[in-house]
Amino acid sequence: MMAATRGIQSGPIQMKAVDDEKDIQLKSDPLNKTPQAENSLLPKNTNNTGMPEDIQAKMESALNTGFSEVRVHPNSQKATDLGALAYTRGNDIYFAPGKYEPGSRAE
């Protein structure tokens, strides 16, 4: 045990001040975009919901509400893990792989 503690000094540890402090500016990470930032780059009428435009239009008309904030995730392994064909979380709809069929009719 004595050999392991020989190199360690006892006494207070003090941090050394940096003489030449400069302002630090964070750089933008192009791969770490927020949805709001990505949406602001899209043209106003771009459909980025993940559902075909004709399906989105039919649903908006039938339900009398907008779907621009809805996001469809068609191949969610989490849905399968949960034993679900699909599930929702907030404005997101997650479908198990192979279960998202936007052109099919409800049974």
Query: Which of residues 105 and 70 earns the better pLDDT score?
Result: 70
Range of the domain at 70: 48-107
Q: What is the pLDDT of residue 38?
A: 47
Percent of the chain with pLDDT over 90: 35
Say if CB 94 and CB 76 are below 8 A apart.
yes
Closest CA to 55 of 43, 70, 38, 44: 70
Separation CA 85–CA 94 (nearest Å): 9
Residue 21 has pLDDT above 80, yes or no: no
- Is 101 within the bounds of a domain? yes
Q: Is residue 33 part of a domain?
A: no
With respect to residue 73, please indicate whether it lies within any of the assigned structural domains: yes
| Nearest alpha-carbon partner for 76 in 93, 91, 92, 96 | 96
> Is 8 within a domain?
no
Alpha-carbon span 99 to 107, nearest angstrom: 14
pLDDT at 106 over 90: no
> Count of domains in the chain?
1
Residue 78, in any domain of the structure: yes
Is residue 37 one of the residues assigned to a domain?
no
pLDDT at 51: 84
Average pLDDT, the chain: 73
| pLDDT value at 43 more than 50 | no
Q: Is residue 4 part of a domain?
A: no
Q: What is the pTM of this model?
A: 0.53
Determine contact, residues 99/75, Cβ cutoff 8 Å. no
